[in-house]
Amino acid sequence: MHKQGWNMIEDSGRGWRKVVPSPRPLEIVQMRAIRDALGPGRVVIAGGGGGIPVYRAEDGGLRGVEAVIDKDYTACLLASEIGADLLVILTGVERVYLNYGRPDQKAIRRLDTAEARAHQEAGQFPEGSMGPKIRSAIEFAERTGGGVLITSADRLGDALRGRAGTRIVAARRGGERRGAGRRG
């Protein structure tokens, strides 16, 4: 650690982990190829693990950078760019919870972005856990007017049918959903 100049932390009993910056993704470099690959009956896998972090140098070339790109922010950006109606964020729990892990925890079936933001600001969704997922959901719903579904992989089918998961939608303003009508 000292020899290499690395910043390391103990990772909840799982050993040591190198700490690197986690910038928000601004662009998906291969977006044109992803759009070209989309089509009826096709499944396109992109941005896995948040993607490879690069920056655009002054000469226009791409250079690697030691960082970790958050997968939830990448999914939000990708879904927004392709015009998705629904962003699905898979996680280790069936639903989003208030007071998670406490005796008074409460499952949430639906939130609008104003409610989600208020709970986020109250500290309900911590970093390294549900925090980036909720922020990504708020951003996607407000930017596009589309919905977000947060659930576990094993409950995805039920969640798509409305029997599991948490739905996050744009807050209504003046009787109309925020973001509605902005999509092309």
75, two tokens: 């999914």
Sequence spans of domains, the chain: 8-177
Task: Dihedral sign for Cα 113, 118, 124, 127, please.
Answer: positive
Residue 9 and residue 19 in contact, taking contact as beta carbons nearer than 8 Å: yes
pLDDT in tens, 26-41: 999 999 999 999 989 8
Q: b/e string for 13-40 if b means 16 or more Cβ within 10 A?
A: eeeeeeeeeeeebeebeeeeebeeeeee
Encode the chain (184 residues) as per-residue pLDDT tens digits. 888 888 888 877 788 888 888 888 999 999 999 999 998 989 888 887 778 899 999 999 999 999 988 899 999 999 999 999 999 999 999 999 999 999 999 999 999 999 999 999 999 999 878 999 999 999 999 999 999 999 999 999 999 999 999 999 999 875 555 554 444 3
Nearest to 81 by CA among 134, 139, 159: 139
Is the pTM higher than 0.85? The answer reads no
Q: Which residues contact 29 (CB under 8 A, 6 or more apart)?
A: 54, 62
Q: How far is CA 11 from CA 18, 129, 139, in A?
A: 9, 14, 29
Structure tokens at 117: 């933001």
Please name the residue ranges forming H helices in 13-70.
31-37
- Give the chain's mean pLDDT: 90
Kindly report the CATH class assigned to 8-177.
alpha beta
